[in-house]
Chain A
Amino acid sequence: MLAPEPPLADWLAEFDALIERSPGFFAGRPLVLDLSALPPGKEDDGKLMAHLAGSSVRVMAIEGRQPADLASDMPPIITGGREIRPAEDEPSAQQKAPAPPPPKAALTLESPVRSGQSVTYLDGDVIVVGSVGSGAEIVAGGSIHVCGTLRGRAIAGTVGNADARIFCRKLEAELLAIDGLYLTADGMDPQLRGRAAKVWLTGDTMMMTALD
């Protein structure tokens, strides 16, 4: 339903702006024209109809007029049409659901993480191309990958991500933690020391296995 309001010139300008923003909005959607807010007048109604036709708007019926008010080439009278609110259901707003946030890239550290340094990245994985020194600390929201030796602490999945894992090429870690569960060096399988390893969670158990 389309309900023009006086003054008509302003309403038409607004209408044209809407058409310009969303040219396909009325395509294939015949509508009811509610003229009750406008004073009756065959000439003005005719101009309005011509304007709408020029904008490819198909009017299937008219509301708010007496049969006598209408010229013979006008659509039939109807009552009780439901209003559509163009401003509220613009297709660009409705059809496109809010896009999911783009996945955050992993944080890649090209240089070794030295003793005393603490790297915190809660948005995703952390990849360390070098080694993590004794007394250094990596805190990641996602998984932690260490291409060199992991001698310090690796704390993965810290924002409640139990699927996070820890990988390293040489395991010498002081502490490993995933989603709040942790293991100190004393609790680690001595067989895995100095080897490439993967660490993950199964339920509340921290699992570790050699990769080589």
Chain B
Amino acid sequence: MAKVLVVTSGKGGVGKTTSTAALGAALAQEGQNVVVVDFDVGLRNLDLVLGAERRVVYDLINVVQGDAKLSQALIRDKRLENLSLLPASQTRDKDALTADGVSRIVTELREKFDWVICDSPAGIEKGATLAMRHADIAVIVTNPEVSSVRDSDRVIGLLDSKTERAEKGELVEKHLLITRYDTARARRGEMLKTEDVLEILSIPLLGIIPESQEVLRASNLGTPVTLSNPMSAPARAYIDAARRLRGESLVVSVPTDKRSFFGSLFARRVA
């Protein structure tokens, strides 16, 4: 059974697109058939992060409006053949999305793939609500700081009321992904503690992605971090998160870049 997953946050700049690409690639690396869909119409980025920007012909809006077939718009990744991208349109805005069109596309994607990962735009307006509309699972990307946490809380409320599942009286499975976690700053008490974030949002923790230059480097290369350097700390955190999404229960720790034997052995257990 295909699963529709939305990566959302409310706040911008917390790492939704990076996480979509990394989780999508990590699931594909495990042999799953994955499509990532960019819902950020007008401000598309997912194509850049996946290094597919030079191959975009048709986009989500073309398919919504019936100008192109889904198969024409899907771009298959060059490195992972079971990872596809449905890019957003850069020349249009979110008003070009229609509820019917999105519903039709998601239904069609469900038949072709194991995972349909929707990269939500920031905000809580049309683009974001349509991205979460058909979700079975939500990954809420949050930075350990108050504004991001409050916005995430708002988005969780929307997931519980505005989605198709919520309207049927079912629940959207929700997971918290804490990104840009700075171990040094956390130690100095300059960031919200993980347990505080978990207490405020009260949803299960999917993973903690450490702040790392590796993430920026991967984005600039146009390669998901799980592909560019699978042994790096953020890549390992994303790979573990993807395994948890598939149902494995792994202890959540903050991986560090120190390669020492003891460093990895005593990776700090957080929750």
Contact = CB atoms under 8 A, between A and B. Distances in A.
Interface of A: 111-117, 130-131, 133-136, 149, 151
Interface string B115-159: 000000000100000000000000000000010001101101110
Contacts of B202: 112, 130-131
Contacts of A115: 150-151, 153-154, 157
B160 A111 contact: yes
B267 to A, nearest CB: 30
Given A133-B150, A134-B150, A135-B150, A114 B199 contact: no
Nearest to A170: B199
Contacts of A136: 153, 157
Interface in B42-97: none
Given A113-B157, A134-B200, A149-B200, 9 more contacts: A114-B154, A114-B156, A115-B157, A116-B124, A130-B202, A133-B153, A133-B154, A133-B157, A151-B200
A114 B174 CA distance: 14
Contacts of A113: 157
Nearest to B151: A115
Interface in B183-206: 199-200, 202
Contacts of A151: 200
Interface of B: 124, 146, 150-151, 153-154, 156-158, 160, 199-200, 202
Contacts of B153: 114-116, 133-136
B217 to A, nearest CB: 34
B157 A116 contact: yes
Contacts of B154: 114-116, 133, 135
B160 A114 contact: yes
Given A115-B151, A134-B150, A135-B150, A149 B199 contact: yes
A115 B124 CA distance: 12
Contacts of B124: 116
24 contacts: A112-B202, A113-B157, A114-B153, A114-B157, A114-B160, A115-B150, A115-B151, A115-B153, A115-B154, A115-B157, A116-B124, A116-B153, A117-B157, A130-B202, A131-B199, A131-B202, A133-B150, A133-B154, A134-B146, A134-B150, A134-B200, A135-B153, A149-B200, A151-B200
A211 to B, nearest CB: 19
Nearest to A112: B202
B150 A131 contact: no
A111 B150 CA distance: 17
Contacts of B199: 131, 149
Nearest to B171: A111
B153 to A, nearest CB: 4
A114 B151 CA distance: 10
B248 to A, nearest CB: 27
A119 B150 CA distance: 18
A133 B156 CA distance: 11
Nearest to B202: A112
A147 to B, nearest CB: 12
B160 A131 contact: no
Given A115-B150, A115-B151, A131 B200 contact: yes
A149 B198 CA distance: 13
A133 B158 CA distance: 13
Contacts of A135: 150, 153-154
Contacts of B151: 115
